[in-house]
Amino acid sequence: MIRRLPCVWRLSAAALLTLAAAARPSAGSSPYDDVDPFIGTGGEGHTYPGATVPFGMVQVSPDTEVRPFRESFPWAAGYRYEDATILGFSHTHFSGTGHSDMGDVLLVPRVGPLQLAPGTVEDPDSGYRSRFSHGEEGAQPGYYWVRLQDSGVKVELTATSRVGVHRYTFPDADDAHVLLDLVSSIYNYDGKVLWSQIRVESDSLVTGFRQTKGWAPNRHVYFALEFSKPFRSYGIVNEHEEHYQGFGPARRGGPHFENYPEVSGRKLKAYFNFGTDSGEAILAKVAISSVGPEGALENLRAEVPGWDFDGVRAAAREAWSRELERVVVEGGRRERRMFYTALYHTLLAPAVYMDVDGRYRGADGAIHTAEDFTHYHVFSLWDTYRALHPLFTILHPERNGEMIRSMLAHREQNVHGILPVWSFGSNETWTMIGYHAVSVIADAFLKGIRNYDVEGAFEAMKASASYAPYDGLDGYMEHGYVLADREVGAASKTLEYAYDDWTVALMAEALSRHDDHRSFWKRAGNYRNVFDAARGFMRARNSDGSFREPFDPLLASTLYGGDYTEGNAWQYTWYVPHDVQGLIDLMGGNERFVSRLDELFMLEAGEDKYAHVEDIAGLIGQYAHGNEPSQHIAYLYSYAGQPWRTQERIRQIMTTLFDDTPQGISGNEDCGQMSAWYVFSALGFYPVAPGSLEYVIGAPQLPKVTLDLGGGRRFTVRAEKLSERNRYVQSATLGGKPYDKAFIRHEDVVRGGTLVFVMGPKPNRAWASSLRSAPYSMSRRE
C-alpha cells in the first residue's frame, strides 16, 4: 500500500485523535509526561505501546494478532491500533521494523471456560483472545494498562531490563486462570518452534524455554515465571493433548505439589488456575535469558526480588525521566509530545542482551561473558547507521562504544568472521544490504569514541568490506560495481558499498594505513560507475558493462528482486552522501541538480509502480520518507547553494508526514531511525554522511532545545521569532559569532555552546549559499 498522507487509513484523523486522547497523559509537566507510546502503533509505524526501560532486554506488550509470515507485515510489533481484540501479553518485541520474529512467552489472564486456541478476529469467543477498547487502555514509558472486556480483568504491565511484571486485577471468580502459550509468535507457521519445555518448579514458580527457527534461524529464549499467589491447579498441554495435571495445597491439603513435571515438545501450552475475590490482584513476574533457565531465574531474583509492582513502575519512570530530561525542549504541547515520543523511540534499540552476571549466547551458539561492558543485540544497521548511531555519538557516546564492542564480539564468534548486517538473538539474518557496521565504527572513532579495540575494529571493517561471498562483493571488487546479471539489487548495493568504503578509507587515513586508505578511497568513487549520463539516473550494469534493460525509473522493487532495494531509480540516484558535489557534477551542475530535486518531490506515479513493494510509505512525489534511502535527500539542496530550499522541504516533511496520533509516523519506525531523523531535524541539523564529522543544517522546528552532554557541557539551539509563518533562517550565530555555513561540525556540538537562528517569513537566499559554506564532499578533497 502506498501511503501519502499520515491520517488516511481506516479511521479519520478526528476519530484517531479522539481515541488517542483517552490514553494520553493529561499534563505536560515533564518530558516523561509528554511521551505518548501510542504514536506509531497505527498505520505503518509498527511500534508497540507496552512496557520497557531504556535499551531494555524485555519489552512486555500486548499482541493483537499473529499471522503467517507472508501476512504478518502489519503486525510486526505485535500490536496494531486499528485492532479490536488482544491475544495476550508477550515479552519480546521489535520497535518499528517491517519484519518480526518475537512475541515470546505469551501470558493470557482469563475468567471462564479454558480456551487453548487463540480464536479469530471474526469470532473472538472461539478462543482465548479478548475484546478491548482504547477508552480503557493507557500507556506511559515503562507502564501499560488495559481492561479485557470479555473477562473484566484489568491488566497492568511494567518492566525492568530483564523482567516483565504483570498485575492482573480479577473479578470474583472460581474459574480464573492464566494461560502460558509457548506456540504463539508475532508471525507463526507450523514448525517454527523447534523445541520447547515447561517445568513446574513449585506451586508458584515455572521455568522453561523455546527454540525457534524463524527470521533468526536458531534462537533460544529461556524464562522464569513466578506468581504472587500459589495456583491451586494446573495443566500442561502438548499438541492439544493434556499430558499433566497437578493440584496445589487448596486441593491436596498439603504445602507442596507432588511429582513436579517437566514436559517437552513443539507445541506447549500451560494453564494455572486460581480462585479470586472481586478486585483481587495477582502478580506475575517473567524474566528471560538466552543462556538457560537458571540465568532467567537469577535475573528474576536480582531485578525483582519482591512483589512491589508500583515500586518497579516508579523505578522504570525514574529511568525514563533520567534519559528524557537530558534534552530540554521549549515549545507547544503538541510539538513537545511529538519530540519526546521520538526521543523515547530512539532509546529502545539496540537492546541489552546478557544476564545480570554478563553471560549471553553468542553467534557461535556458545555461552560467553561480557566481562567489563554491556552486550547488546538488535542491530538494524541498514536503518540505524544513518541517524540513530550518530545521535548516540552525541547523547550516549560510551554506550555507542559498547554497542561497537558487541558488534566486534559478533564478528569473533560467527563463522564468516564479519561484522553484523542485521543481527539479533545470537543470529545473523543477512537482511537488507551494505556492510554498515563499518560506518558506525568509523563515525564513532573519528568522533573520539574509542572504548573498544580500535585495531581489531579496523581489521573487522576490512574483513566485512572484502567478504566476497556476500551480496555481489566479488563482482564489485573486480569490476567496480555489483553485476546486475548475477545479483539482485545491484544498483543499490553498488551505491551503499561505495559509501561504506569511504568510511573505511577515512578510518584508514586516521590510522596511517596508507595502502588501505588509497584502496578504499578509490572504491568510494565506484558510484560513478553506475551513473547513466544519458538518462541521468543511477542504473544497474551487467558483466559486459551494459546497463540493464528495460529500464523504468519509477518502478520500485524489493530486496528480493530488481535493481533497487525498497525503492526506485528516482529515489536511489541521490544516494551518494559522501560525495554530493560529485553527484552534482555528474548531473551537470547546481542548477540542473536542484531542478532534478524539485522534480523528485513533485513527480507522481501510479500505484502499479509500487505493486511489488510492501512498505513504500510517506510519499511526497517520489520522495519516500518511510524508506531510509530517501531520508537524506531534502538536505541536498544545501550542497547546491540553496539551503533555503532544504528549509522548505524539511518543514513540509515534518508538518505533513508526522503528527501526534497513533498514525503519526509515516512509515516503519525501524528501531529508532525514523525518530532519530525527527529529533535531529527538529533540532535543525542532520548527519547526511556519518563519518564526515558534519551535520547539515536544515530548519529548527522548536524555539529552544538544550542537550545535556554530561560533564557540565550543554549545547543549546535557539530559534528566535520561530512561528508557522517564520520558517526560514535569516541569519545564525554560533558561540555569539556570526555563522554562515550550511553545516555544523560535531566538535562544535559536543564541546557545548549555543547555536542561534533568527527566523523570518521569506527565504534569505544569500545565507550559507556560497561554495565555501557547503557541506563536505569527497570530490573537494581529491
Residues of the chain with CATH 1.20.1050.60: 377-470
Query: Domain 377-470, what architecture?
Result: Up-down Bundle (1.20)
What confidence tier does 593 reach under pLDDT thresholds 50, 70, 90?
Answer: very high
Q: Write out pLDDT tens, residues 315-336.
A: 999 999 999 999 999 999 999 9
**Three state DSSP letters for 215-267:** CCCCEEEEEEEEECCCCCEEEEEECCEEEEEEECHHHHCCCCCCCCCEEEECC
Residue 39 predicted with pLDDT over 60: yes
Residues of the chain with CATH 1.20.1610.10: 471-551
Residue 559 predicted with pLDDT over 60: no
The helix/strand count (H/E) of the chain reads as 20, 40
The residue among 615, 616, 472 whose CA lies nearest residue 530 is 472
CATH for 471-551 is 1.20.1610.10
Torsion angle defined by CA atoms of residues 131, 133, 134 and 137, in that order, rounded to the nearest 10 degrees? -80
Give the span between the Cα atoms of 379 and 357, in whole angstroms.
22
Residue 16 predicted with pLDDT over 70: no
Give the span between the Cα atoms of 416 and 302, in whole angstroms.
36
Residue 8 predicted with pLDDT over 50: no
pLDDT of the residue at 7? 30
Residue 3 predicted with pLDDT over 80: no
pLDDT of the residue at 117? 94
Q: Write out pLDDT tens, residues 78-99.
A: 999 999 999 999 999 999 999 8
Mean pLDDT of the 2-11 span = 31
Residues of the chain with CATH 2.70.98.10: 45-324
Residue 773 predicted with pLDDT over 50: yes
Residue 152 predicted with pLDDT over 50: yes
Mean pLDDT of the 648-670 span = 96
Contacts of 201 (CB under 8 A, 6+ apart): 207, 260
Cα R_g (the chain), whole angstroms: 26
What is the rounded end-to-end Cα distance, in angstroms, of the chain? Answer: 43
Residue 5 predicted with pLDDT over 80: no
Torsion angle defined by CA atoms of residues 495, 498, 503 and 509, in that order, rounded to the nearest 10 degrees? -160
pLDDT of the residue at 556? 81
% of the chain residues with pLDDT over 70: 93
Mean pLDDT of the 535-560 span = 90
What confidence tier does 642 reach under pLDDT thresholds 50, 70, 90?
Answer: very high
**CATH class entry, domain 45-324:** mainly beta
Residue 445 predicted with pLDDT over 50: yes
pLDDT of the residue at 192? 93
Mean pLDDT of the 240-258 span = 56
What confidence tier does 561 reach under pLDDT thresholds 50, 70, 90?
Answer: low
Q: How far is CA 779 from the centre of its chain?
A: 33
pLDDT of the residue at 351? 98
Mean pLDDT of the 203-211 span = 97
Residue 259 predicted with pLDDT over 70: no
Query: What pTM value is reported for the model?
Result: 0.94
If phi over 0 gives left and psi between -120 and 50 gives alpha, with beta otherwise, what is residue 111? beta
The three grid cell numbers given for residue 169, joined into one nine-digit string: 486485577
Give the span between the Cα atoms of 475 and 482, in whole angstroms.
5
Give the span between the Cα atoms of 732 and 563, in whole angstroms.
42
Contacts of 97 (CB under 8 A, 6+ apart): 46, 76, 77, 380, 668, 669, 670, 671
Q: At 301, which helix (H) or strand (E)?
A: helix 293-303
DSSP symbol at 779: G
One DSSP character per residue, 389-456 reads: HHHHHHH-HHHHHHHHHHHHHHHHHSTT----SEEETTEE---SSS-THHHHHHHHHHTT---S-HHH
